[in-house]
Amino acid sequence: MSAQEWLRPSAEEFIGWDVDVLYGPWPRHHRDIGLPEVRERLGRSPVACALALSTRGPLFDDGEGNAETVRDLADCPELLPVGTIDVRDALTAEDRLDELAAAGVRFLRLFTIEQMAEPGFPGYRRVVSLALERGLTLLHDGDPRRFGPPLMGLGADVLFLDLHAYLLADFLLMAREEPGFRATTRMLSGPDSIERVVETVGPRHLVFGSRTPFMDISPQTLRLRYADITDDDRAAISTKNVEELLA
């Protein structure tokens, strides 16, 4: 067996899509991590492809950050660009979204924690409305118990990035009614959290997300690998649910 074959992930290890990847500076991290290092980290992992975003967009300037993301990832076949909108300046949201549409961007990530947005804020509501009108999938931070209810009944595809195991029951109640509500596995650290989602609402409501490079990717991949679920369930979570959104 060659070294390349030895390093190739098994079917149980393989992650087709990681939906939570960033590159650039981050306020709560001890150093900036650029795109080359992020790609290197992903290359050493079982992750094949990822949705990625420059942190310039949420932290400094959404228009410049989106342009940087699209430009940077044009030569990265394993990375798909994600856009963002500064919900504090929603008057410019329509122009930003048109720019993203022209670039073929399919995913919009909202940074409500960094931008101190609440579900009832006019700017937040406008951004969400415009994004859903354009058929974008939302990558949403924050507590799903606060942001989920206003998104119900809209036919929205939403990937909740910060679902903690302690909040799982409330998410499952929403997911029973919302086929487009999905959450990442990143914070589902309970001994049966992944299994509980699969048993209650099915594997289509989970996707893999690591928050590389600001969190270690290994515990996330191992948690999914050893979850007590079927191989088909694991394949849906690791790959097929995102492919469905891209279809």
Predicted local distance difference test score (pLDDT) of residue 96: 95
Predicted local distance difference test score (pLDDT) of residue 221: 92
Predicted local distance difference test score (pLDDT) of residue 30: 74
Contact 234, 10 (CB under 8 A): no
Nearest to 161 by CA among 34, 78, 32, 51: 51
Q: Which two tokens stand for residue 210?
A: 């690591």
3-state helix, strand, coil in the chain (%, to 5): 45, 15, 35
Predicted local distance difference test score (pLDDT) of residue 29: 72
Single pTM value for the model? 0.93
Nearest to 12 by CA among 246, 232, 247, 241: 232
pLDDT tens-digit series, residues 11-56: 678 999 999 999 998 887 777 899 999 999 999 999 999 999 999 9
- pLDDT tier, 10 (very low <50, low <70, confident <90, very high otherwise): confident
Nearest to 159 by CA among 20, 16, 59, 14: 20
pLDDT tens-digit series, residues 106-150: 999 999 999 999 999 999 999 999 999 999 999 999 999 999 999
Predicted local distance difference test score (pLDDT) of residue 2: 41
CATH fold, domain 15-246, is TIM Barrel (3.20.20)
Predicted local distance difference test score (pLDDT) of residue 32: 83
Predicted local distance difference test score (pLDDT) of residue 31: 77
Contact 124, 112 (CB under 8 A): yes
Q: Tokens 């990717």 sit at which residue?
A: 217
Predicted local distance difference test score (pLDDT) of residue 6: 40
- pLDDT tier, 7 (very low <50, low <70, confident <90, very high otherwise): low
CA distance 21 to 228: 26
Q: Where are the domains of the chain?
A: 15-246
Q: Residue 23: helix, strand or coil by DSSP?
A: strand
Predicted local distance difference test score (pLDDT) of residue 3: 40
pLDDT above 90: percentage of residues in the chain: 89
Pseudo-torsion of CA 51, 64, 216, 234, nearest 10°?
-10
pLDDT of 167 over the 60 cut = yes
Q: Residue 235: helix, strand or coil by DSSP?
A: helix
Contact 235, 207 (CB under 8 A): no
Predicted local distance difference test score (pLDDT) of residue 50: 98
233: number of CA atoms within 13 Å, CB side? Answer: 19
- pLDDT tier, 236 (very low <50, low <70, confident <90, very high otherwise): very high
CA distance 222 to 199: 20
Residue 120, number of CB atoms within 10 A of its CB: 9
Burial (CB count within 10 angstroms: exposed 0-12, middle 13-18, buried 19+), residue 69: buried
